[in-house]
């Protein structure tokens, strides 16, 4: 794709954000585009957000489980950017009107204490770079109608990012085995899904290593203080106005996301 078509695709996604109206899959308009083109569209969107006053505060890894990779017909994860405006406070009402078709996923969030840049990053490097972990809930969203996304679509759409809620119980890596950490996801008091850290590329740390080694050659450093979401421990579940979502992760803690009732959004 030439620069003008990259900008054109980014503008179409920008309108979907602004008008809260999902669009047809981009791959229909750009059938010959590839993964590299999709990341260029994503980066163009991020550039526009930063120019408008937002700031990159981290990254998220998507398609990190074997089940999701099989569903999408791919053999590796993808990544997107987290900006400051995407972070929501725990227990504070989140307006669902800010999203198009939100779903939610539980994750173990890494908060970096030192910079991490590939290529050549090892698990040992990643462990040294992590300051602490937090329980988190990622709100995934898609600007593509009915979530009918190809790999190209989800990457171009910033890896279907929507929002982040961080818990408030920091835990040192040495205090928990991330692979064996079990997770229970509750929706309005009922169990909605279960999983474990090992569902995320065998260990969430592997996801962090993959991210650093993937973005490093592009000139991107994972910065101190940045948050990295390594991927969901369970399937994603749809959310509606008035929902309360709680994720409890063994050895890590719990995190709660509260969505404002429809009556408060009108």
pLDDT 10s digits, 79-110: 999 999 999 999 999 999 999 999 999 999 99
Q: What is the pTM of this model?
A: 0.95
Which domains are assigned to the chain? 3-259 (3.90.850.10)
Q: Compute the mean pLDDT over every residue in the chain, rounded to the nearest whole number.
A: 95
b (16+ CB within 10 A) / e for 24-34: ebbbeebeebe
Residue keyed to tokens 């309360």: 244
C-alpha torsion 202→190→86→41, nearest 10: 60
* pLDDT for position 76: 80
What is the DSSP-derived secondary structure letter of residue 261?
P
Under the banding of pLDDT at 50, 70 and 90, the label for residue 75 is confident
Q: Indicate if the pLDDT at residue 114 is higher than 80.
A: yes
Residues 193-197, mean pLDDT to the nearest whole number? 96
Q: Indicate if the pLDDT at residue 71 is higher than 70.
A: no
178 half-sphere exposure, CB direction, 13 A CA radius: 29
* pLDDT for position 180: 96
Given its phi and psi angles, is residue 244 left (phi above 0), alpha (psi -120 to 50 degrees) or beta? beta
CB 207 within 8 A of CB 200: yes
Residue keyed to tokens 């409890």: 248
Least confident span in 16-25, 64-73, 115-124: 64-73
User: Cα dist. 4→30, 37, 70, 194 in Å?
Assistant: 13, 12, 33, 44
Between CA 105 and CA 166 the distance in angstroms is: 12
How many Cβ atoms sit within 10 Å of the Cβ of residue 214? 20
Q: How does pLDDT run across 20-66, given as a tens digit for each residue?
A: 999 999 999 999 999 999 999 999 999 999 999 999 999 999 988 87
Q: Indicate if the pLDDT at residue 266 is higher than 60.
A: no
Paired strand residues for 155: none
C-alpha torsion 195→196→200→204, nearest 10: 150
* pLDDT for position 35: 93
Q: Indicate if the pLDDT at residue 152 is higher than 90.
A: yes
**Which tops the pLDDT comparison, 149 or 76?**
149
* pLDDT for position 263: 79
Q: How does pLDDT run across 218-257, given as a tens digit for each residue?
A: 999 999 999 999 999 999 999 999 999 999 999 999 999 9
| β-sheet with 244-249: strand ranges across | 93-94, 253-259, 244-249, 182-187, 190-196
Sign of CA dihedral 35, 38, 40, 46: negative
Residues 10-22, mean pLDDT to the nearest whole number? 94
């Amino acid at each position: 794709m030439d620069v003008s078509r990259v900008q054109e695709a980014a503008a179409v996604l920008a309108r979907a954000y602004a008008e809260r109206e999902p669009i047809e899959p981009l791959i229909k308009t750009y059938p010959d585009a590839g993964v590299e083109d999709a990341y260029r569209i994503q980066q163009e969107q991020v550039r526009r957000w930063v120019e408008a006053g937002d700031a990159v505060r981290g990254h998220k890894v998507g398609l990190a489980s074997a089940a999701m990779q099989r569903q999408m017909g791919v053999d590796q994860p993808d990544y997107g950017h987290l900006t400051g405006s995407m972070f929501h406070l725990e227990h504070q009402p989140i307006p669902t009107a800010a999203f198009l078709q939100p779903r939610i996923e539980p994750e173990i969030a890494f908060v970096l204490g030192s910079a991490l840049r590939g290529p050549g990053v090892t698990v040992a490097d990643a462990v040294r770079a992590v300051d602490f972990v937090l329980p988190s809930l990622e709100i995934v969203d898609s600007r593509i109608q009915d979530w009918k996304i190809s790999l190209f679509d989800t990457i171009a759409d910033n890896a279907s990012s929507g929002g982040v809620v961080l818990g408030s119980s920091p835990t040192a890596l040495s205090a928990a085995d991330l692979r064996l950490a079990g997770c229970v996801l509750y929706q309005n008091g009922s169990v909605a899904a279960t999983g474990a850290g090992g569902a995320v590329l065998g260990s969430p740390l592997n996801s962090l290593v993959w991210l650093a080694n993937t973005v490093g050659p592009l000139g991107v450093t994972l910065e101190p203080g940045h948050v990295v979401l390594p991927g969901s421990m369970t399937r994603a579940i749809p959310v509606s106005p008035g929902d309360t979502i709680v994720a409890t992760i063994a050895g890590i803690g719990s995190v709660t996301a509260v969505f404002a009732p429809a009556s408060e959004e009108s």
